[in-house]
Structure 1
Amino acid sequence: MISEKVYYQKNIPALGNLYLRPFNTQEDSIVIHDWVGREYAKFWGMQDYSLEKVRAEYEKLQKHGQVYLGFYQQRPAFLIEVYDPQLDSLSQHYRVEAGDVGMHILLAPPQTPIAQFSWHIFRFVMEFLFDEPQIKRVVVEPDARNEKIHRLNERAGFVYQKLIQLPHKLAHLAFCTRTQFFTAIQQENSMHNSVAHESPEHQAVLHLQPVLWSKINRSLIRKAISEFAHESIINPTLMGYEGVWGVYEIVADSPDAVYQFHAQRLCLNHWFIKEDSINKLVNQEQSLLDAPQFIIEFNRQLGIDPHKLPTYIEEISNTLYGSAYKHTKLGVSSDALVDADFQTIESAMMEGHPAFVANNGRVGFDGKDYFNFAPECAKKFKPVWLAVHTKKAHFACSEELDFNRLMLSELGEVQINEFRQQLINRNLKPEEYLFMPAHPWQWFNKLVTIFSADIAQQYLLFLGYAEDEYVAQQSIRTLYNVSHPERHYVKMSLSILNMGFMRGLSPYYMGGTPGINDWVGKLLAKDSYLQRNGFYMLRELASVGYRNPYYENLPVKETPYKKMLSALWRESPITIIKPKQRLMTMAALLHVDSEGVALLPKIIGASGLTTSAWLHRYLTAYLSPLIHCFYEHDLVFMPHGENLILVMENHVPVHAIIKDIAEEIAIMNEHLVLPEMVQRVQIAVPEEMKVLSIFIDVFDGFFRYLNQILVEHMDFPEQHFWKLVAQCIYTYQDQHPALEEKFKRYDFFMPEFAHSCLNRLQLVNNQQMISDLMEQADSLQFAGNLPNPIAQFKRLSSVNSATNEILSEA
């Protein structure tokens, strides 16, 4: 807590002198009683208090905390309350740490407007608090409805972690460390004036600073070398050793440019590169690291079509732009994320797809679009709502739903009636139209021009915006409802180029999506193993697809122009979790913050479990149901980090939730008799390629990176990790002896497996990686075989003894 002071004062250049003195309960309560009774102070919660009750409240508060009255121009201007969270009900909602202090601030009634007055006061109070060396972190719990204080908190560096229910309000729990606050102030000071602070032009480039630019270029080159070497696109030469590190060299297309670095070779031909060891020589002289230049220098080895190279360079540049912002974004430290809520973690992810080098291309967004719609910016926005004529649009839904019920749950009766009235006012029949959301970017950049004929002919009408606000998810075209989290996710066409695809949605695919989800949902629901495990699929319950005849009748089969206006609604995971459970994107297990601190060790540490025990729980929740679906149902998913949500209890994974179903599942049994609507996901796959759905999508696509986190940040031997993976599979197989023939046919302990490569796909065609979604296997790019990291455990004689051995070694 703060030591006793007579006053604290400071001269603010843009304002004048501010000072504090301890609160005098008898005299100052008269002033505060006037303040708290006014409408602007409704969030203070004392509007109906008498003067005596106000006095009593502050006498009580001063027994365990401190209260100060702040003055500006010799008049009372603000009040601050300082308290120990350990003695407050707040302690029931988070683990109080030494150096934590709680703070409330109330401004005097506004009189003569003064530019940035609230901000100057807020900054003054934070500087006052951190003037005390023992204070390490300020904790606040503002009313969830108080948007003004949220803006001040975020500007000062506070990190919003989760919503909490306090006795008198629904509140956000937020934290600000000394470092976060002074980083925020440093960023403020880099802006020349308040106009620059508000300027989109300035905001668009604020994070592009020389030192940081050098850092993120080094980081992206590290990833490029690692992934391109993993896929055998480039082949580093071993020059020697320095301790446990191999010293390697790669030579560009022109031998004048040479890159040297230290690396360890991990399982699955994974290159764990020591980032600060990367050195570039041009004509034997040291040169700056530049990621776009690296691509140009190695283009012949990468095999990029010269006509597609400019677009790939643009994607690399855009990836760097986003990375720079993520590194300057306040409050995304791994420590802060341990107890953070679902959406705070979602927007804090730094890396994007772990395999793709150009993984945040987003070609089509400008600087303002980035800050409005990129998931890491976490800006709330509203979708555009459209009316689409049933002659050109089709609605599909699950068996238990219909269009009216969906609209009622998503929009409410008042908004529906307002939209219907708009149609009536135009002499149109509401029953001939469907309502659908569209991404604002899509509306302004594509629909108003490309669909102008349909707009002119009133097949497509702009209705406006509804009340609910959303934030973009990692998949960028999927939005999460922050106004009503229990309502559905909305996924919409977004015609930007990102990671090898234009991110549209096919109206034909959307037409069959709810039916496929119904069928798969029933399959999983009646599976007793999956029910015991808790594995859950977020169903895509409804969709609207709109067809533009100009493009539908073109001879070309696949074109982004056929996928410009569709939407689907997916269940919210909020509705299926229990009290004291939390949600977390599985991508968070690979998260490393801007200071190089990994999140996974922090989570495991908070759980109280050993690393081996925690990983065992994780593998049971994630890998076991995937193995079961493969063997029992010939059903495979696309289970990468962004597509999985982990249900956490006490920082331990207890269940896994899979999403993104209709476009990313497959039933690999062409002999199975399926309903017509499901046959789209039934594919013929060569027998030897079926196991790749686990080997490539899980082992190579996620475990390879998880293994490096364990090695690099936890000193956890990779042999221990892969033993745990082997044990998980053997445990499942021992529980299902009836599937023994399949275990032999599809052997997850085979010595090696074909290496299907993602970057090779993107480098071949960075604008359409898969030419035909119905025949994806034809587009795959291979690079020899990868040694199977669990093949060495094939002869484990006893699952139980293996388990004991692993746990005892960890």
Structure 2
Amino acid sequence: MAQCHHSSTDHRPGGLSHRAQHRVPGLRYVPGQGGHQVTTTLDTPQHGEQITGSLTFRPVDPDADSRIITDWLTHPASHFWDMQETTPEKTRAYLTDIAADDAQNAWLIHDADEPIGYAETYDPARVLLSEVFDARPGDVGMHLLVAPPPEDRSRRRSGLTGRVMRAVLDHCARELGARRVVVEPDVRNHAIAAKNREVGFRVLRHVDLPGKVAALSIVEADDAGRPLAADPTPHLHPESMDAAQRHVVTKALAEFSHEHLIRPTRIENDLWELTLPDGSVYRFCAEVLPLNHWVIDEGSVTRHAQGSAEGLPLDAQEFVAQLHETLGIPEKLLGTYLEELASTLASGAFKNFRGGPTAHQLALGRKDVDVAADFQQTESAMTEGHPCFVATNGRIGFGLDEFRRYAPEAGARFRYVWVAAHREHTTLEVSRAGTEETHWADELSTETRREFADRLTELGLSPEDYVWIPVHPWQFQHRLAVSFAPDIAARRLVVLGEASDEYQPQQSIRTAFNRDHPTKSYIKTALSIQNMGFLRGLSPAYMRATPAINDWVAELVRGDELFRELNFDVLREHASIGYTGDAYHVTETKSDQQKMLAALWRESPLPFLDEDERILSMASLLHRDARGRSVVTELIRASGTDARTWVREYLAAYLTPVLHSVEGHDLAFMPHGENLILRVKEGRVVGTFMKDIGEEAAIIGDRDLPEEISRMRHVIDDDEAAQLIFTDVFVGVLRHLSGILHRDGVLDHAEFWSLVRENVDAYRARGLPRRRHLDLEVPEFRHSCLNRLQLRNTLEMVDLQDASGSLIYTGSLRNPIG
């Protein structure tokens, strides 16, 4: 872009398999030279500690210290270190590796002549956290083991763990120059979580590390040693919120300009200005690319009072409130849209607060964990939501605790609540390849199924009369236990409790990924929160045909030679269930209450991967990290190939299958970023999975279909079929990707669109039989505007019974390949 003017203390990665790669600056043990001692004195006793004075730190001597450290590591109280089986010989080798490594140090801590603790310090940019944490200069990682308490209770010293922790923090700051100290204890270690809070650590997020899920936490050196202030909303501090406001305001300027809702004025070169009704002025640097795509320099956006050069804070809600008449928001829905904006800002502030992997780390992927953990790190790291919508994280209904448990960016895990529903009122459908028995055997353990059956038997009910439904915990608390109370009391529904498997929320928030058994299915359930223009229910009526639709689509895709050549596949929704025994289904009047209790199971992509492949959602290509670096640019750099080759391969994996599906088979998917999962090998896209078939795939031509799946037929003409490609692919995905690559200086926008034209021509040159001949080279096409839909009715953007008829078009866009 052109420039405008305690014994259970656990901070360790776990297991003897841990090996460092490099070392923080600081003191180190040199074998045979006696090491170096550092004395740390606490000025005053803290929290009732009974001992005062100085503690001595000296580098560990592997030969001299391995036996005592082994005794500590094998003590039952030290089980979170995951070294219960170590021996002095193994410990000596472990400590020798640390001593030889210039990225970490090992320290023995003495009180007078008595050894009382062991600490490791390391460079988190190069050891253990190098693939998950955007470390800053001056960050020091720390693991701490306090000597187990003596069996003689009279010899135990109150406050020892807290004192040692403060001394270690002081040592990191004074002797190692730490500006921040980073720890990553096991999330199950509640004792150390409390100790961490006592000395000022705040949890950023949960991360997968070898052998554990860790609570990644930091403390500023200046704050170290002081108890963490009680603050239920640490992410809502100005530094986190200001960045969120800047991002959302920039996106509003870009996307509202794209849809001609606002019309900024060019001042000079790439400097633009927009005046609001109150006279305040927004100024920013932008380049307008094909498809009226506004690439705005986020850091350039300023706001000024009328006639004043003094800057005003950026405020996305005030921006929209000022422009609500121009934006076409009905008065009665303005508050709801502003609330969805507030929630989007809260989510953005949390993403800024939690930190996250860098774009470079996401592009390279995890080498220290399995493919599933790598995939889920990327899924939880996303910051953007939908690339077109401004209010993308409404989630009206979530409280603060629920946000931390169920929002995808929190990266937490949860267990579904299960209910037994009487068969008379419940429909379970499974794929042709399965049965009800095989479905449950695949998805639930033998022990869980036995517990469910025993629960029904204990109540005097026959297990054969019931079928099981997973319910999102939020849905159970806020909808099922209240809105279905009569059904539970009548035992048409029976609450069974949680199953053992833990799941992680996906960006498509109703869906969760099985973390305990990643090759098992995703589960998608009703989640009746208001989010992005809809109450996110799930229709039992739609569930009836879902497996049959998926079987038919999968058979078509997997039987097509070109799809196989392109490594394109679908993830089948192979089972579905819905309950209709409630009062809401007695009436034929359609209501949101009829979509509160249903679920489906979707195939995991993991069983279909080839060796050395990893996966990430296509939405991640549009992600920028906290420093503004993009995943797609980093992927290209990591691939070892040039940008043109990389984009050419990506388009072959994405655009060609979408074209072939529409033209060759009259089959239309919803090909936005979150519905595509990319198969990546050494940084290059080698295939794709399409998902969300049952609700969003459609047959758009007049072809024979089995009666049971006839609801997926929506016949449209060739012009409207071409419009699907223009709107969903060109405008919905490729304009954003082109803008990122252009802004990053990786690939000029004209070159990008020439590759898109080349891809279309190459598909046509294959001479394959086609059911349609779409004219994708027209000079212009209609401009379908997504934000206008949400702004018009944020409670129900489109009529799902007539989605095409609900769309809003404003003028036309010049076709970049026309």
Scaled to the shorter chain, the TM-score interval is 0.7 to 0.9
- The alignment partner of 1:381 has SS state of coil
Compute the displacement of 1:224 (Å). Answer: 1.0
Following the alignment from structure 1 to structure 2, what is the Cα–Cα distance between the partners of residues 100 and 735?
55
Residue 339 of structure 2 is aligned to residue 326 of structure 1: no
Aligned residue in 2 for 1:345: 378
- Report the Cα distance in structure 2 between the residues aligned to 1:191 and 1:125, rounded to whole angstroms: 7
State the shift of 1:549 in Å: 3.9
Counterpart of 1:614? Answer: 646
Cα displacement string for residues 524-573 of structure 1 (whole angstroms, at most 9, x for unaligned residues): 1110111111111111111110115422243533x211100101111111
Match of 1:20 among 49, 57, 62: 57
1:193 alignment partner in structure 2:
227
| Counterpart selection for 2:300 from 266, 277, 281 | 277
Query: How many Å apart are 1:461 and its aligned residue?
Result: 1.3
In the alignment, residue 801 of structure 2 is paired with which amino acid? M
Letter of the structure 2 residue corresponding to residue 551 of structure 1? Y
Q: Report the CA distance between 1:195 and its aligned residue.
A: 6.8
Task: Please tell me the residue identity of whatever aligns with 1:561.
Answer: Q
Q: What does residue range 83-482 of structure 1 map to in structure 2 within 5 Å?
A: 106-110=145-149, 117=161, 121=165, 124=168, 128=172, 132=176, 184-186=218-220, 189=223, 193-194=227-228, 196=230, 202-203=231-232, 205-238=233-266, 240-242=267-269, 245=270, 247-252=271-276, 254=277, 256-285=279-308, 286=310, 287-338=312-363, 339-340=365-366, 341-482=374-515
Q: Is 1:662 matched with 2:706?
A: no
Shift of 1:676: 1.1
Whether the 8 Å CA contact 2:784–2:808 is kept in 1: the answer is yes
Decide which moves more: 23-32 or 522-531: 23-32
Quote the Cα distance in structure 1 between the aligned partners of 2:778 and 2:619: 28
Structure 1 segment 566-585 matched on structure 2, within 5 A: 566-585=598-617
Q: Secondary structure at the match of 1:716?
A: coil
> Does the CA contact (< 8 Å) of 2:281 and 2:303 recur in 1?
yes
* SS of 1:307 mapped into structure 2: helix
For 1:43-54, what aligned pairs fall within 5 Å after superposition? 47-48=84-85, 51=88, 54=91
> Residue 784 of structure 1 aligns with which residue?
811
* Matching residue within 59, 62, 66 for 1:29: 66
Deviation per residue, 1:361-384 (Å, 9 max, x gap): 111112221112111011111111
The reply to whether residue 701 of structure 1 matches residue 724 of structure 2 is no
Check whether the contact 1:8–1:128 (CA below 8 A) recurs between aligned residues.
no
Q: Could you tell me how far 1:454 is from its partner in structure 2?
A: 0.5
For residues 611 and 192 of structure 2, the distance between their equivalents in structure 1, rounded to whole angstroms, comes to 28
TM-score by length of 1: 0.85
2-11 vs 386-395, which moves further? 2-11
CA distance in 2, matches of 1:590, 1:493: 28
TM-aligned CA deviation for residue 257 of structure 1: 3.6
Change in CA separation of 1:343 and 1:48 when aligned onto 2, cut-off 3 Å: closer
Give the letter for the 1:709 counterpart. I
Deviations 1:667-714 (A, max 9, x none): 110x20100122111102233111122111111001111111111123
SS in 1 for 2:470: strand
**Deviations for 1:489-527, whole angstroms, at most 9, x for unmatched residues?**
110100001010100000011111011000101011110
* Equivalent residue runs for 1:490-509 within 5 Å: 490-509=523-542
**Cα drift, residue 212 of structure 1:** 3.4
Read off the aligned partner of 1:249 and give its amino acid letter.
Answer: E
Change in 2 beyond 3 A, CA 1:387/1:699: same
- Residue 450 of structure 1 deviates from its aligned partner by 1.0
Unaligned runs of 5+ in 2: 1-22, 29-34, 151-155, 367-373
Letter in 2 for 1:612: R
Distance 2:600 2:194 in 1: 32
Report what 2:15 is aligned to: none
Distance of 2:124 and 2:298 partners within structure 1: 40
SS across alignment from 1:543: strand
- Deviation string for 1:82-121 (max 9, x for gaps)? 7999999999999x99999998654422465867947973
Indicate yes or no: 2:736 matched with 1:736: no
**What SS does the aligned partner of 1:736 have?**
coil
In 2, the alpha carbon distance for the partners of 1:294 and 1:86 equals 39
In the alignment, the residues of structure 1 paired with residue 112 and residue 209 of structure 2 have an alpha-carbon distance, to the nearest angstrom, of 38
Is the partner of 1:654 in helix, strand or coil? strand
Q: Distance in 2 between matches of 1:674 and 1:407?
A: 29
State the distance in 2 between where 1:86 and 1:689 align: 51
Report the Cα offset of residue 125 of structure 1: 6.7
1:599 corresponds in structure 2 to 631
The percentage of counterpart residues that share the same residue type is 37
Separation in 2, partners of 1:783, 1:89: 52
Which residue of 771, 784, 789 corresponds with 1:756?
784
Q: Is the Cα contact below 8 Å between 2:669 and 2:697 reproduced in 1?
A: yes
Please list the CA deviations of residues 256-312 of structure 1 after superposition, one character each: whole Å capped at 9, or x if unmatched.
Answer: 344333321111011112333333344423543211111111111111111111101
CA gap 1:215/1:128 in 2 versus in 1, 3 angstroms: closer
> Aligned-pair distance for 1:486?
1.4
Please state which structure has a larger fraction of its residues in helix.
1
> How far apart in 1 are the matches of 2:811 and 2:131?
55
| Aligned counterpart in structure 2 of residue 515 of structure 1, from 543, 548, 554 | 548
Task: Report the residue type matching 2:71 in the other structure.
Answer: D
Query: For 1:691, what is the secondary structure of its paired residue?
Result: helix
Structure 2 vs 1, CA of residues 34 and 514 (structure 1 numbering), >3 Å: closer, same or farther?
same
Answer with 114-123 or 39-48: which moved more.
Answer: 114-123
Q: Distance in 1 between matches of 2:253 and 2:660?
A: 35
Tell me the distance in 1 between the aligned counterparts of 2:585 and 2:27: 73
Contact 1:488–1:571, Cα closer than 8 Å, also in 2 = yes
C-alpha offsets along residues 431-485 of structure 1, whole Å, 9 cap, x if unaligned? 0111111011111111111111101100111111111111110011111111111
CA RMSD of aligned residues (A): 3.8
What number of residue pairs does the alignment pair up? Answer: 760
Is the alpha carbon distance of 1:132 and 1:604 closer, same or farther for their aligned partners in structure 2, counting shifts above 3 Å?
farther
Describe the SS at the equivalent of 1:645: strand
Q: Is the 8 A contact 1:138 1:175 kept in 2?
A: no
Q: Note the C-alpha offset of 1:333.
A: 2.4
Q: Which residue of 2 aligns with 1:7?
A: 37
CA contact (8 A) 2:327 2:791 kept: yes
CA contact (8 A) 1:100 1:139 kept: no
TM-score (norm 2): 0.85
What secondary structure is seen at the aligned counterpart in 2 of 1:233? coil
How far apart, in 1, do the equivalents of 2:331 and 2:224 lie? 40
Cα distance in 2, alignment partners of residues 278 and 9 from structure 1: 50
Q: Secondary structure at the match of 2:695?
A: coil
Per-residue displacement from partner, 1:597-618 (whole Å, max 9, x unpaired)?
2222222111111111111121
Q: Distance in 1 between matches of 2:61 and 2:650?
A: 55
Separation of aligned partners in 2, 1:449 and 1:143? 36
Is residue 2:719 matched to residue 1:688? yes
Deviation at residue 18 of structure 1 after TM alignment: 4.3
- 1:769 maps to 797
Unaligned segments of structure 1, at least 5 residues = 165-169, 197-201, 792-810
